[in-house]
Structure 1
């Protein structure tokens, strides 16, 4: 083997290690969102907390992610992706250790806030990939890393279920799992990820970060707590009104700052705007499938006439794990489709699978085979969506805005998930099956049917966004590598082509 071939092989193996490490880091991110779902009841019982109080264990992470993801994505663009990645992982490990050792609900919520900052890892990982991976391999690498998100969400459900089995279940154990995986990811980042070759520098737009954070908190807080506060209560309506006012303040601020955290022209650029809309809809549909199927299969058939009486562990392993496995494998095919057919076509194809899956789930959820098979179709839809959206974002923004643009896209998916949680919770609580006095209320089967139908409608809208909102002229094109072109020239050409107005 010649020296040139050895060098090329070494670079290829180095790139593979980077992709695998960043995939692990992204998987840890997604685990933080669903890790506590199976153990909320256990936390409430052990800490003797109310339902409203324990709901902050999930709400705190969502709000933290909303505030820190765009800020840290932009910070990584300015001051280097690797040190930002390392810092975020260290904060997440500290938060996980705190959650794994405390017996106080207050400190558990603080730990969950620290874990929420880890959501910034995903856009930072995509920024690293754009900088380190050759253009002809970039879509496949982004698809692999994106595919670990859905897999991590399912793995957290299964892991939490397994770790809390036995005669003495302990809700602290899943948090120790998060510590171990985060430490492994940190070691991988320190060893494998090279320092950033490009940094935009400049000052951090703290005022923009503060106003955007306030906007997201005011928006997501009533969405996540509305079922407890009451959707027509003064607190809920007032907080929504505050979000509208803060949106105006944020836009005004960013248009006046010399170096804004979010470039408003980038934010409303058609490919970016419609990709974020697709992200919101995809987040809604994905979380509807997770929470809807989880609740459905645990319903006691003898009491309500439907469901399978599954345990929390069986719901995770038997009914949800196949969806996440298909998502992980399907993301690789999604990357191939993005490279060959374009991200727009891949997103539309995924939406079609999603419509088919939720139609199946809506019409026939009376057997385990139907629920699992429909879930696998939905998992394929999710994987194609995750594979295509980073490609659309990367093609729509210049290289120095990759972190913040993907951060906003991550937030759009989080908002979609929060909306799904609120909508599904409200729907399931609105109509209950008549049961003997003293028994907890259980939802009517029609409410699950309606939930799945709404999620199918969300995928219909994703297809419309892909085929109409994202016109063919805006679809990303894979850059073609030419001989005798230096890497620096290639990077410059790629960046110029990506920022050319369409």
Structure 2
């Protein structure tokens, strides 16, 4: 009877798929009753859960993030010509997007934890849609930049999507789903470059077409997030707006010189001053967060070794992803008749032949990475990722005179990137509470974005230095590409060393704690799939 009373007391906490547990008997054994409810009441509204849509909706959202990031990069010259502005001014269509993303991502991730992920995701997609329409209809650079700032909110979809997966999926499916969704970052980036090449070919091509495309993609994304199940917020409390402002300022000071260093000069007072300011402001942010009761980022996330190493790996993975995209694209477009290397490919051919195989292969390699995490753990998968990345860069540094050599090297690096993306969310959520899922993955996303900026700045700097003399158009010596590939391999090998020697060994199926495994097995015996996060929620209820 006591057990029945406990069940009745818990009945108001039943969710679409939930369980009620109680102790009974002289052995005080734990019994759980698993309940499947297809519709449920939440704040007076009738809500229909659509768990089958969770993975495709979150995967599409992440693909949208990556596509929006790379869609504009190849058309900076077209924007410059169409709007009659300088190259430096036109580049703000990219720079403003990255700066805004650095500010928005942690705020949106924490808002999702505090206010619910679904409503925040809906708001994000509406802002992205508004930014796409503005950019598609304006002929003013300031308005285009504002549109790109609005599109930057899309960066919040990745950490929020990981949080949704943790809420909705059974633990046995979570790692594979996170790997697939994370892999869309590379797939979307390659897709963005390829689609740009297709739309901008021929006479009369207009860059506005790209923003009309992003408008259509945003509408589809909005329909998708509206179908996500509603859930109460994972955490309670207030957003640390002061901390968010200080963190945003520090990230702007960090990302700005990485994007503008080639224009300002890497040894200029503006570049060095911004980097020094970033160090000071970010150090101030850490001190502030240690002194307040409800920090934006807890001290555990700032000093816990697995989380710190996850951020280092995210930085390295982002660096490798953009370094391979930009360097291979520049290499294969070089005319061999005057440079002695390259293939004289068009932008479209470079995208379709050399970049797309590695990106599209993510549809296969991302789930494979998830299986590796399930079977061997996040540490082993990260180590494999770093070594694969290094192997691909080394191959390209040694040989890149035939098409197959470049494709194989590029695919190897991209596979390493995919495996890295597959393991990072698992490593992060294994080491944070479910109430911090959004902000923890947001911080990891920031490190990945900074790595992308570093990769971009590094490649652009090298391909604009040590040029072949006597050519009307500046083209780099072949040695510059070898240096890019050697440095890419070195970064990956350093990451492998950090992961191999400093990261504690992680268990297979890393997202589960021992109690969750026991309850997951009990649910399986009952024929019911239970979202992993519900176990933690029931314990804290």
TM norm structure 2:
0.86
Q: 2:168–2:531: 8 Å Cα contact kept in structure 1? A: no
Partner of 1:168, secondary structure, is: coil
- What's the offset of the Cα at 1:8? 7.7
Answer 1 or 2: which has greater helix percent: 1
> Does the 8 A contact of 2:250 with 2:281 survive in 1?
yes
Please tell me whether the aligned partners of residues 112 and 233 of structure 2 are also in contact (alpha carbons under 8 angstroms): no
Give the match for residue 420 of structure 1. 455
Q: Does 1:64 align with 2:100?
A: yes
SS of structure 2 residue aligned to 1:483: helix
Residue in 1 aligned with 2:503? 470
Q: Distance in 2 between matches of 1:75 and 1:362?
A: 44
Matched with 1:112 is 148
Alpha-carbon distance in 2 for matches of 1:489, 1:150: 27
Aligned partner of 2:522 in structure 1 is 483
Instruction: Tell me if the contact between 2:107 and 2:244 (Cα under 8 Å) persists in the aligned partners.
Output: yes
Cross-structure match for 2:419: 384
Please show how residues 95-494 of structure 1 align to structure 2 within 5 Å. Answer: 95-191=131-227, 193-436=228-471, 439-472=472-505, 477-479=510-512, 480=517, 481-483=520-522, 491=533
Change (3 A) 1:473 1:38: closer
How many angstroms apart in 1 are the aligned matches of 2:207 and 2:114? Answer: 39
Which residue is equivalent to 1:23? 59
Question: Residue 328 of structure 1 contacts residue 383 of structure 1 at CA under 8 Å; is this kept in 2?
Answer: no
Q: Which one has a bigger Cα radius of gyration?
A: 2
For the structure 1 residues 132 and 212, does the alpha-carbon distance in structure 2 shift closer, same or farther, using more than 3 Å as the test?
same
Shift of 1:267: 2.2
What is the CA-CA distance between 1:166 and the residue it aligns to? 2.2
Q: Return 5+ residue gaps in structure 1 as ranges.
A: 1-6, 498-502
Take 1:250 and 1:379, find their aligned partners in 2: how far apart are those partners? 34
Q: 1:347 to 1:495 in 2, by over 3 A?
A: farther
Q: In structure 2, how many angstroms separate the alpha carbons of the residues matched to 1:55 and 1:272?
A: 33
RMSD: 2.2
Once the two structures are superposed, the pairs formed by residues 87-98 of structure 1 within 5 Å of their partners are 87-98=123-134
Contact 1:61-1:115 at 8 Å conserved across structures: yes
Cα deviation digits, residues 4-27 of structure 1 (max 9, x gap): xxx98989x943321001100110
Deviation at 1:248, TM superposition (A): 2.3
8 Å Cα contact 1:344/1:470 also seen in 2: yes
SS of the counterpart of 2:464? helix
1:353 shift after superposition: 1.3
Q: What is the deviation of 1:190?
A: 0.3
What is the CA–CA distance in structure 2 between the aligned matches of 1:489 and 1:449, rounded to whole Å?
48
Higher strand share: 2
CA-to-partner distance for each residue in 1:273-308, whole Å, 9 max, x for gaps?
Answer: 100000001110111000001111111111211111
In structure 2, distance between residues paired with 1:474 and 1:335 = 14
Q: TM-score, normalised by structure 1?
A: 0.93
- Partners of 1:159 and 1:9 in 2: how far apart? 42
Query: Which deviates more, 408-417 or 233-242?
Result: 233-242
Q: Contact 1:282–1:458 (CA<8 Å) still a contact in 2?
A: no
Q: What's the CA shift string for 1:362-412, capped at 9, x where partnerless?
A: 111111111111111112111111100000001010000000000011110
Q: Secondary structure at the match of 1:430?
A: coil
1:66–1:411 Cα contact (<8 Å) kept: yes
Contact 1:88 1:118 in 2 (8 A): yes
| In 2: Cα distance, 1:236 partner to 1:417 partner | 18
Contact 1:327 1:382 in 2 (8 A): no
Change in 2 beyond 3 A, CA 1:104/1:272: same
Structure 2 regions of 5+ residues with no counterpart?
1-34, 40-48
Q: CA deviation at 1:59?
A: 0.9
